[in-house]
């Protein structure tokens, strides 16, 4: 049994194995319909319990399909309907019950400490479905999407992020170290990645490139990523923050500064005003393929967690 909490803590060779498995499985089920089960039903009889303390569309649906396509089932809990959510039951006791009733636990929460505590008390795998510091299932799936579209290892590509230093970027930074790709980040000075993540990159003898000028950040990019300027439950002065990002909007003009053939645009969704409709809905954008790939990669993440990855 293995947890899937932060890309930083997962060996690169395991991440590579997950991507390879997802690639095989995606091809093999080309002719199957949505709820048909993969050959061999590797997670037959297994229950994945999902709990969301924050909104979700894609993560909820993709985990539902992922476990179903592997032959298992899922149950989604709303934290405010649990004793834990009302403050009346401890994480330790809740975790004990989840471990007795279920086989895996997927958690989306506003507290990294809570993910850690669940990992401490659960005897079943916990998967981080987004926390303040990390969105690992999203970013591993994004690596898969980039390689699928570009048909080459991500280590041979220039990846660029234009936007806030948030959970998705933290996971992308972790991925840049694990998969050895060049990552350029464009953001206002005030919203640069934090000291901790930068120190972690340094400790791993790697580099990330930070620019406070969006045009410089996108130069030479094969892939341009973005995300909302205001994340879920972001407790900042929203107006001020949006104003600080006014020169970081991704429109066709900014895309053209990559000066590279075939630059693509990716975004984890939901979107805000950080990208123009023309780019988001345009030819260079692959956001719908990106969203659907989460099903395929999360299936292989589940198999990894359940110790069933071939």
Binding region for ligand CP (CB under 6 A): 56-59, 130, 138, 268-269
φ, ψ for residue 285 (rounded to 5)? -90, 135
CB nearer ligand CP, residue 236 or residue 292 = 292
- CB 308 to ligand NVA: min, Å: 27
Does position 268 bind ligand NVA by CB under 6 A?
yes
Provide the token pair at 129. 């479905």
Which C-beta is closer to ligand NVA: that of 62 or that of 231?
231
Residues 182-221 binding ligand NVA (CB under 6 A) are none
Q: Which of 47, 91, 232, 236 binds ligand NVA (CB under 6 A)?
A: 232
Residue 227 annotated as catalytic: yes
Judged by CB under 6 A, the number of residues near ligand NVA is 10
46 touches ligand NVA (CB under 6 A): no
CB of 59: closest distance to ligand NVA in angstroms?
Answer: 7
Q: Which is nearer to ligand CP, 182 or 296 (CB)?
A: 296
Catalytic position from the list 3, 29, 58, 135: 135
Is 108 assigned a catalytic role? yes
Q: According to CB under 6 A, which one of 69, 167, 226, 293 is a site residue for ligand NVA?
A: 167
Q: Nearest Cα to 58, choosing from 298, 228, 304, 231?
A: 298
Q: How far is the CB of 167 from ligand NVA (least distance, A)?
A: 5
What are the distances in angstroms from CA 156 to CA 76, 186, 211, 240?
Answer: 39, 20, 21, 37
Give per-residue burial for 174-206: e unless 16+ CB within 10 Å, then b: bbbbbbebbbbbbbbeebebeeebbebbeeeeb
Find which of ligand NVA, ligand CP, none residue 29 binds, CB within 5 to 8 Å per kind.
none
* Residue bearing tokens 């980040």: 185
Rounded to whole angstroms, the Cα distance separating 273 from 6 reads 28
165 binds ligand NVA (CB under 6 A): no
Nearer to ligand NVA, 166 or 285 (CB): 166
Q: Which is nearer to ligand CP, 28 or 57 (CB)?
A: 57
Secondary-structure breakdown of the chain: helix, strand, coil percentages, each rounded to the nearest 5: 45, 15, 40
Q: How far is the CB of 62 from ligand NVA (least distance, A)?
A: 12
Residue 187 a catalytic site member: no
Note whether 228 binds ligand NVA by CB under 6 A: yes
- The residue number whose beta carbon is nearest to ligand CP equals 59
Please, what is the minimum distance in Å from the beta carbon of residue 104 to ligand CP? 17
Asked if residues 274 and 229 have their Cβ atoms less than 8 Å apart, the reply is yes
For position 227 contacting ligand NVA by CB under 6 A, the verdict is: yes
- How far is residue 216's CA from residue 194's CA, in Å, rounded to a whole number? 21
Do 60 and 50 meet the contact criterion of CB atoms below 8 Å apart?
Answer: yes
DSSP 272: -
227 binds, among ligand CP, ligand NVA, none (CB under 5 to 8 A by kind): ligand NVA
CA 88 to chain CA centroid, Å, is 31
List 77's β-bridge partners, or say none. Answer: 51
Contact 187, 213 (CB under 8 A): no
Interhelix angle 12-28/167-178, rounded to 10 degrees, is 100
Catalytic site residue 160?
A: no
Active site residues: 108, 135, 138, 227, 268, 294
> Given the rule CB under 6 A, which residues bind ligand NVA?
130, 135, 166-168, 227-228, 231-232, 268
């Amino acid at each position: 049994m293995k947890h899937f909490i932060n890309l930083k803590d997962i060996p690169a060779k395991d991440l590579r194995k997950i991507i390879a498995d997802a690639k095989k499985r995606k091809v093999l089920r080309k002719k199957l319909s949505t709820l048909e089960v993969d050959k061999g039903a590797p997670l037959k009889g297994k229950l994945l319990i999902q709990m969301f303390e924050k909104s979700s569309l894609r993560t909820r649906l993709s985990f539902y399909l992922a476990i179903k396509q592997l032959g298992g089932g899922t149950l989604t809990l709303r934290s405010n309907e649990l004793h834990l959510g009302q403050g009346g039951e401890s994480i330790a006791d809740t975790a004990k019950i989840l471990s007795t009733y279920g086989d895996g636990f997927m958690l989306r929460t506003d507290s990294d400490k809570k993910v850690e505590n669940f990992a401490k008390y659960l005897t079943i795998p916990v998967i981080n479905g987004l926390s303040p510091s990390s969105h690992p299932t999203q970013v591993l799936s994004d690596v898969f999407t980039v390689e699928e579209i570009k048909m080459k290892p991500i280590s041979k590509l220039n990846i660029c992020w234009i936007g806030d230093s948030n959970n998705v970027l933290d996971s992308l930074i972790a991925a840049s170290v694990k998969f050895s790709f060049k990552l350029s980040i464009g953001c206002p000075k005030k919203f640069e990645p934090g000291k901790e993540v930068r120190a972690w990159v340094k400790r791993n003898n790697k580099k990330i490139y930070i620019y406070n000028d969006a045009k410089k950040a996108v130069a030479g990019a094969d892939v341009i990523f973005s995300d909302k300027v205001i994340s879920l439950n972001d407790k900042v002065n929203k107006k001020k923050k949006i104003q600080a990002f006014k020169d970081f909007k991704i429109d066709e003009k900014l895309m053209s500064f990559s000066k590279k053939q075939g630059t693509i645009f990716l975004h984890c969704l939901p979107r805000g005003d950080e990208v123009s409709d023309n780019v988001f809905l345009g030819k260079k954008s692959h956001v719908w393929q990106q969203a659907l790939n989460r099903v395929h990669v999360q299936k292989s993440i589940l198999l990894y967690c359940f110790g069933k990855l071939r």
